[in-house]
Each structure stands twice: as structure tokens, then as C-alpha cells.
């Protein structure tokens, strides 16, 4: 049986740098973590992404800047697309070209940032 996680428990964890040599998450392990950040879309079991909508460019930029500070503190850096009224975030572990628990931890932390701004 897989352990149960909650968004708050994922968000309270710290991202762990991947040194390679570990298999990317697949199947039931991936799905168990995905259930904890359901607004994120799993892309080909390789990446997770989410779009965030904002009323204007400034608020989207403020959010992206907070995500950037979080990424630096966690040592886990997403791809970020900033546009007027929107930010798209994509996460994966580059070292293994797939997903690890740290990607889902970062997603939960980003969700918590978004919750605080709205």
C-alpha cells in the first residue's frame, strides 16, 4: 500500500536535489502524488504543468517573482512562462528527464503561494 500524502504535508517537505541514477516516477506512485496536487496536469508521465490566471500583468509578475524566490530556496527551478494575466509553470527533474517527489513538493509549495495571494 502506498503512503498517503496531503497537500499540506507535501508543501511542508523540502525538495531534495536529484543526483541521477534514480528511476522517474511512473504508474501508481506517480498517481498517488498527483492526487495531492490535482490542479496540475501530468504530461506524458514526464512533466507536470499548471496555468495560473490573474487580473493583470502586475499580479502575474508578482506571483512569478514569488515562485522564483521559492525555487531558489528549494534549489528546484521550474520553467515559467509569464504573459498578461497568466503564468504557466512546468516542473520536472532535468537530471532524469522525468518526475520525482520533489516536483510534487514544489507544485504543492507553489499552490500554497497561489492560495496566499488570492
- The model's pLDDT over 55-100, given as tens digits with 9 standing for 90+, comes to 999 999 999 999 999 999 999 999 999 999 999 999 999 888 899 9
pTM, to two decimals = 0.85
Closest to 68 in 3D by CA, of 59, 57, 80, 56: 80
pLDDT at site 8: 56
Q: Are 17 and 96 in contact (CB under 8 A)?
A: no
Angstrom distances, CA of residue 104 to CA of 59, 62, 85? 24, 22, 24
Q: What is the distance in angstroms between the CA of the first residue and the CA of the last residue of the chain?
A: 36
In this predicted model, what pLDDT tens digit does every residue of 3-34 receive, in sequence order? Answer: 444 445 877 777 776 666 788 999 999 999 99
Angstrom distances, CA of residue 61 to CA of 29, 65, 83, 91, 107? 33, 6, 8, 18, 18
User: What strands, in cross-sheet order, belong to the sheet with 86-91?
Assistant: 41-43, 47-53, 86-91, 79-83
pLDDT at site 115: 67
Q: Are 25 and 48 in contact (CB under 8 A)?
A: no
Res. 116 pLDDT band, cuts 50 70 90: low
Q: Taking the CB of residue 52, how many other CB atoms lie within 10 A of it?
A: 21
Q: Which is higher by pLDDT, 37 or 6?
A: 37
Angle made by CA atoms 6, 112, 68, in degrees to the nearest 5: 125
Q: Which is higher by pLDDT, 113 or 118?
A: 113
pLDDT at site 18: 67
Average pLDDT value for residue range 33-52: 96
Query: How confident is the prediction for the chain on average, in pLDDT?
Result: 88
Amino acid at each position: 500500500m502506498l503512503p498517503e500524502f496531503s497537500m499540506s504535508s507535501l508543501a511542508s517537505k523540502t525538495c531534495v536535489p536529484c543526483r541521477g541514477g534514480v528511476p522517474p516516477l511512473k504508474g501508481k506512485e506517480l498517481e498517488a502524488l498527483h492526487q495531492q496536487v490535482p490542479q496540475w496536469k501530468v504530461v506524458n508521465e514526464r512533466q507536470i504543468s499548471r496555468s495560473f490566471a490573474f487580473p493583470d500583468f502586475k499580479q502575474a509578475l508578482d506571483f512569478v517573482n514569488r515562485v522564483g524566490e521559492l525555487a531558489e530556496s528549494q534549489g528546484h527551478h521550474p520553467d515559467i512562462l509569464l504573459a498578461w494575466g497568466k503564468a504557466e509553470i512546468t516542473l520536472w527533474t532535468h537530471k532524469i528527464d522525468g518526475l520525482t517527489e520533489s516536483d510534487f513538493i514544489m507544485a504543492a509549495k507553489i499552490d500554497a503561494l497561489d492560495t496566499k495571494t488570492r
